[in-house]
Structure 1
Amino acid sequence: MASSFAHHIILGEVWVNILVSFADTIAEQSSLESEAKVVLESGWWNDHSNDTSQRCKWPGISCNPAGSITKIDLSGSQDGGNIPPGIGDPYALECIGLSSCDLSGELHPPLGNLTLLKFLDLSNNYINDHIPSDLGHLTNLQTLYLVDNQTKGSIPSEIGLLSNLVILDLDNNVLVGSIPSALGQLTNMETLSLDDNQLEGSIP
């Protein structure tokens, strides 16, 4: 009787492990499908969109061994268009390089979902949105370039939450208001550039 009971326990553990593995697989597939949707909606890879399973081989895309996108770098491509609203869906992204791509429009809040992001370069475009406070969620971010855009409004104090930030360049925009004292919390900062804006006060 005891042996039969132990047998049932072992079988139960096996099924639990199978179900957990299955759930992880479904979650992984869902994540990869979200990534495929984002890259398609961007319109930047229309010439390659017939087979999204090959997206890791598309120009400017790098993936990890699991097939998740870790890097998008199309700098200088001048493909134009807007930043895709779903750009925050590939949660494994560590690097986004979209400088000199003729981008316009908004910086969508889902960018704040990219908690693994270390490098974000959107410089030399036509982005005319406010800097979203959600960027304060990017606690692994080390480099942020928004230089040479039309970014408006104030610098959100949430930028002070980016404790790993080393470079922050917001030159040549239309930013207004006071420079937030929260920037003084960025103890790892090596380069802070806010020139050619309409900001008041001094750098903390």
Structure 2
Amino acid sequence: MGKCVFSLLIMMLLCPSLIATMVASSSINEKERQALIHSGWWANYRNISDHCHWNGISCNERGSVTAIDGTVLKIPPSKELRRIQNLNFTAFPSLVKLNLYGMDLTGTIPQQITTLTNLTVLDLSINHLHG
């Protein structure tokens, strides 16, 4: 135990940027997890702390969401749950792939999608979106 504490203290002194990166990454991961829960689409996953293991979610080695595939979800036929605005897109800075094909989503396409600068694949087809 003593060696671990000493090693951690040395690492904190020698690599403050590494510690800052780890803390920032943890904060981003929690923000992503909360955004997924708030959407209501992953409400039954509240007790699973690692969102990288949820259906339709892929993450990079830092635990940040890189892909969301909504086609594997079974969303109840609630009009409130079927709104695309339920997902806070700004919470996913590492998102590369967003597949919401055929989810029967309604509403306007959120302007927030433009903040996803790493996005290379976007599929919103077979929905009831406008704007």
Provide the identity percentage: 32
| Alignment deviations for residues 20-78 of structure 1 (CA, whole Å, 9 cap, x no partner) | 2222122111111111111111111111111232x111111111111111111122746
- Segments of structure 1 that go 5 or more residues without pairing to the other structure are 1-13, 131-204
Give 1:19 shift: 2.7
The answer to whether the 8 A contact 1:89-1:113 is kept is no
- Normalising by structure 1, we get a TM-score of 0.51
Moved segments of 4+, more than 3 Å = none
**What value does the CA root-mean-square deviation take over the aligned residues?**
1.9
Where do residues 67-106 of structure 1 align in structure 2 (5 Å cutoff)?
67-75=63-71, 77=73, 79=75, 80-83=81-84, 84-106=86-108
Q: What is the alpha-carbon distance in structure 2 between the residues aligned to residue 36 and residue 91 of structure 1?
A: 13
Q: Secondary structure at the match of 2:15?
A: helix
Larger radius of gyration between Structure 1 and Structure 2: 1
Q: What is the alpha-carbon distance in structure 2 between the residues aligned to residue 76 and residue 22 of structure 1?
A: 36
Match in the other structure for 1:34? 31
- Segments of structure 2 that go 5 or more residues without pairing to the other structure are 1-11, 76-80
Give 1:107 shift: 1.8
Match in the other structure for 2:40? 43
Count the aligned residue pairs.
114
* Structure (1/2) with the larger strand percentage: 1
* Structure (1/2) with the larger helix percentage: 2
- Normalising by structure 2, we get a TM-score of 0.76
Q: Does 2:52 correspond to 1:56?
A: yes
Q: Which has the higher contact order (CA 8 A, sep 6+)?
A: 2
